[in-house]
Amino acid sequence: MSRAASVLLVCIALTGCGYHVAGSANLLPTDIHTIAITPWTSFGIQYKLPNRLAESISREMISRTRYKIVADPAKADAVLSGAVANMFSSASVADPSTGRSTGAQVTVRIQVKMTDKAGKVIFNRPNMEFRERYELSINPGQYFDESEAALDRLSRDVARSVVSAILENF
């Protein structure tokens, strides 16, 4: 069998088996065209992170999907809501000579739910956990608070994961 025929046979086999590239599936109901992403809540003292998460998920939905994102849940075919259930940070690396922390890790647990107009749950993840590491300066004169940048990175990672999970329903 020639090489071209072999490649053609493999291509035909892959198109018929349901194979697709990760991130390209869309398993939401076909009658959904608009999605409202409501402001997120927080069960802790972190007040900035819920807003960042809602904004990041909105941007991710706009960039990766064909859905129209609206602010008013009454004008949407589906509503995506979420909450920050828990957030904490801790030292992850210590300098052996000074005993000071040189790295930290922030861990956040979120709850995400999407419902349709009738209130039927389309997607529900009551306990998703995400982590982000960042560096701490051991020299007080050169201290720069990296935690805000870490929360921005964390928000983008959460948005990518949540949108992928919704679209691929896993």
Backbone angles phi, psi at 67, to 5 degrees: -75, 145
CB atoms within 10 A of CB 110: 24
Backbone angles phi, psi at 120, to 5 degrees: -70, 135
pLDDT tens across the length of the chain (170 residues)? 667 656 655 656 565 555 445 445 667 888 999 999 999 998 877 778 899 999 999 999 999 999 999 999 999 999 999 999 998 888 777 767 776 777 888 899 999 999 999 999 999 999 999 999 888 766 666 656 677 888 899 999 999 999 999 998 75
Identify which of 81, 5, 1 has the alpha carbon closest to the alpha carbon of residue 36.
Answer: 81
pTM above 0.95, yes or no: no
DSSP 38-61: PPPEESSS--SHHHHHHHHHHHHH
Contacts of 15 (CB under 8 A, 6+ apart): none
Backbone angles phi, psi at 148, to 5 degrees: -65, -45
